[in-house]
Structure 1
Amino acid sequence: MYKKIIYKCLGVASIALIFSACKTPNLVGKKANTDVPGSYNNSQDTTNTAKVSWKDYFTDPNLNALIETALENNQELNITLQEIQIARNEVKVKKGEYLPFVNIKAGAGFDKPGRYTSQGALEANNDIKPGTEFPDPLPDYLVGVNATWEIDIWHKLRNAKKAALKRYLATVEGKNFMVTNLISELANSYYELLALDNQLDIINQNIEIQSNALKIVKLQKEATRVTELAVRKFNAELLHTKSLQYETQQKIIQTENQINFLVGRFPQTVSRSSKVFSDLVPNTIHSGIPSQLLENRPDIKQAELQLTAAKLDVKVAKARFYPALAISADIAFQAFNPAFLIKAPESLLLSLAGDLAAPLINKNAIKAAYSSANAKQIQAVYNYERAILNAYIEVSNQLSNINNLEKSYDLKENQVEALTQSVTISNQLFNSARADYMEVLLTQRDALEAKFELVETKKQQMNAMVNVYRALGGGWN
């Protein structure tokens, strides 16, 4: 009769447990919007520069050698590779959680109960053999195997493993994005170094021109054709140009060291081809169509994988509301004397148990974890959408930049040619007393600035070529 009552109570409790556990809070989710414009400039050409290997995109052998070294030695990249290894191990951890855990165990100890306790009195009055009491104290020896297994009814553990796998793949895409950024940063620094070399050449040429002009002005002062003021002005301009020389030399050293840092080596001279800088022509860019960004950009694929992992996390958090079934089993040999330990079946110990448990009261922590997982999922949606929007804007900006820089370079080239001729003309006029020294100085300064700007525009052209390659998702493959 009592057994029936107990069974009925257990049945009612189990049903109440399941129904109570299956009630989960209603949360509002969000779906990612992956729509992008159909084209960048009304072109439907699907040819995409991002598919070109960096070895073919960059043709300077010195730059390519630097990139090769950086991909092998860059510390930040190698740190990321270790993060990938950590994420890979996390997948193995999660995979092992839904498989049975089997442990081998061995132990030894002793127990001495008080004689005037129920256990002590029992041991004193029950002989193992006639005339022999239980040992006092009572040793305990055990050797056996224990197994535990949580049955993954609601796929909580499998979804956790899948989430870990998605995060591992996201770290791989993160590494690819780092490779793309590393290549672009290295290429930009290399072209900046070439530009500084050319600016230094321009400064040296101007120093020579201004030094000759100063000699002429000094002779003219001796001939009383100009005053000491003209000499001082020409000398001041020469000193200003010489100060630019040292400033540019320092910039060259810093840029070289930035390149050395990226390739993972101590400061040394960077091999380069500075003489051909003015003849460099940016590569022809094929932007393809915007939808290809979802395939080519590693940061977009990383955000997508993180979103998938976040969705799986929500499922894992939701499964914690449901009953969990665990099975445990033991098989062992246990005896108070090592001599009896291998005697079966007397010393054989067997156990098998099932455990069904679910949260019933005070589920605030589980509800909070579920709500947080959902919030992180929505956060991942916004991050994914932001990555897509950012990629499109980057490509759009760089395509426009390439077009405008091409027009600007042509105009600055004509400006430099005109000012170079003006320097010659102003010197001739000054020598024939038809122009004052201020006109000569201003013309020389304008010509120097125009040449600097021309070199700077060429550098910006090459940087735009690098940046659009990165924006399209090129370099990592």
Structure 2
Amino acid sequence: PRLDIEAGASRGTYLAARKVNEDDSYFIAPTLSWEIDFWGKFRRANEAALAELMASESSLRTVQISLISEVVSTYFLLLDFQQRLEISRQTRDSRNESLDMIQKRFSKGIIPEIDLNQAQIQKEIAESSIPVFERLISKTENTLSILLGRLPGEIQEGTDLHHQAMPPDIPVGLPSFLLERRPDIAEAEYLLHAQTAKIGVAEALRFPSISLTGIAGYASTELDKLTSEGDAWSVSGGLFAPIIDFDKNKLRVVIREKEAEQALYRYQNIILFAFK
């Protein structure tokens, strides 16, 4: 049902007894209209709207899970770079100590110059990796800050990589109905439901529609007597049926069917991907 209010004023002339008369009219009335859902058009439209709403909620959960996964992956990558940086620094310190020993032995003539040159090269290689990991750490910290909704900056260190609690491996033989908990599958299923419901809406548009309209208000030829002497009401019914529409409604059904077919393929692909 739909409730509206109408108000208006008009002036016209008409010829009666060879005399031109003026006629003023004023009206104000609420209008209640109701189209009978004989073919299920509104019911199917409500189904489609509700399914799209549920799909939006599932999509939100999908985005949240994806964000959490990306935050965790980026954080573990940061811990990995920090560990590699620590190893590089320890390697550099070890190379420096080794180079000091080799320089002393070279100054005493115990070893040839080639050994000294090789030790210097190894030290420089160890030192060159340190700024590389420092840049990677800074870049990863900025990425993680953005994912967390913060300004780019340093991330406070927590437990190192080796002491992080890892989730258990997923055992084999789990029942397939657990896939229903995946929000991406739920989203695809709701979208498929919405598209099939829209087929029903398109089908209903090909058939006649029946509507009822009721008006109750005031009407008068004098504005100052509109609400005191101008009670008026009417009840009417209407039938609207498409006759020639150049297959517009038929093509609308075909389009909805193709959209539902695409939604079905997407639903199947997501399920197949979930089984991998």
Query: Same-fold call, TM > 0.5?
Result: yes
CA distance in 2, matches of 1:341, 1:278: 86
Unaligned runs of 5+ in 2: none
3-state DSSP of counterpart to 1:168: helix
1:124 is displaced (CA, Å) by 7.5
Q: Of 50, 60, 63, which aligns to 1:165?
A: 50
Letter in 1 for 2:257: N
Q: Deviations over 1:388-416 (max 9, x none)?
A: 110111xxxxxxxxxxxxxxxxxxxxxxx
Q: Percent identity?
A: 26
Question: What residue in structure 1 maps to residue 11 of structure 2?
Answer: 111
Give the distance between the partners of 1:203 and 1:308, measured in 2 at CA.
56
Alignment check: 8 A CA contact 1:198 1:274 kept? no
Whether contact under 8 Å (1:143, 1:332) holds in the other structure is yes
Q: CA deviation at 1:163?
A: 1.0
> Which secondary structure does the structure 1 equivalent of 2:192 belong to?
helix
Q: Aligned letter for 1:102? A: L
As a proportion of its length, which structure holds more helix? 1
- Residue in 1 aligned with 2:262? 379
Determine whether 1:152 maps to 2:37.
Answer: yes
Cα distance, 1:175 vs structure 2: 1.7
Are the aligned partners of 2:30 and 2:215 in contact in 1 as well (CA < 8 Å)? Answer: yes
* Deviation of 1:255 (Å): 1.5
* Aligned counterparts, 1:431-442, within 5 A: none
Deviation of 1:294 after TM superposition, in Å, equals: 2.8
Residue 214 (structure 1) aligns with? 99
Aligned counterparts of 1:349 and 1:147: Cα–Cα separation in 2: 14
Residue in 2 that maps onto 1:278: 162
CA-CA distance at 1:297 after TM superposition: 1.2
The answer to whether structure 1 residue 332 and structure 2 residue 217 are counterparts is yes
Select which of 219, 226, 233 maps to 1:350.
233
**1:226 aligns to what?**
112
Aligned letter for 2:11?
Answer: D
Asked whether the equivalents of residues 321 and 359 of structure 1 are also in contact (C-alpha less than 8 Å), the reply is yes
Give the structure 2 partner of residue 102 of structure 1: 3
CA distance in structure 2 between the partners assigned to 1:310 and 1:250 by the alignment: 49
Q: Secondary structure at the match of 2:166?
A: coil
Question: Do 1:217 and 1:226's aligned partners in 2 also have CA atoms closer than 8 Å?
Answer: no
Alignment of 1:350-369 (within 5 A): 350-369=233-252
Partners in 2 of 1:286 and 1:261 — Cα distance? 31
State the alpha-carbon separation in 1 of the partners of residues 246 and 237 from structure 2: 23
The alignment covers a number of residue pairs equal to 274
Closer, same or farther: CA 154–220 of 1 in aligned 2, 3 Å = same
Query: Which residue, 170, 176, 181 being the options, matches 1:296?
Result: 181
Higher strand share: 2
Matches within 5 A, 1:451-466: none
Q: Is 1:294–1:301's contact at 8 Å kept on the other side of the alignment? A: no
Cα distance, 1:112 vs. partner? 5.3
The structural deviation recorded for 1:324 is 0.7
Secondary structure of residue in 1 paired with 2:227: coil
Q: 1:230 to 1:329 in 2, by over 3 A?
A: same
- CA shift for structure 1 position 380: 1.3
CA distance in 2, matches of 1:353, 1:264: 59
The alpha carbon displacement at 1:155 in A equals 0.9
Superposed CA RMSD in Å reads: 2.3
Normalized against structure 1, the TM-score is what? 0.53
Distance 2:231 2:133 in 1: 86
What is the 5 A alignment of 1:396-475? Answer: none
Paired residue type of 1:160 = A
TM-score (norm 2): 0.89
SS in 2 for 1:269: coil
1:13-63 superposed Cα distances (whole Å, 9 cap, x missing partner): xxxxxxxxxxxxxxxxxxxxxxxxxxxxxxxxxxxxxxxxxxxxxxxxxxx
Query: How big is the shift at 1:246?
Result: 1.0
CA deviation after TM superposition for structure 1 residue 280, in Å: 4.2
- Counterpart code for 2:154: T
Asked if structure 1 preserves the Cα contact closer than 8 Å seen for 2:33 and 2:214, the reply is yes
| SS of aligned partner of 1:333 | strand
- Kindly report which structure 2 residues correspond to 1:72-87, keeping only aligned pairs within 5 A, or say none: none
Aligned counterpart, 1:60: none
- CA deviation vs aligned residue, 1:327-348 (integer Å, no higher than 9, x gap): 222223223322221243xx33
Q: What is residue 15 of structure 1 aligned with on the other side?
A: none
Residue 125 in structure 1 maps to residue 19 in structure 2: yes
Tell me if structure 2 keeps the 8 A contact 1:299–1:387.
yes
**Letter in structure 2 aligned against 1:107:** G
Q: Distance in 1 between matches of 2:217 and 2:34?
A: 18
CA contact (8 A) 2:25 2:219 kept: yes
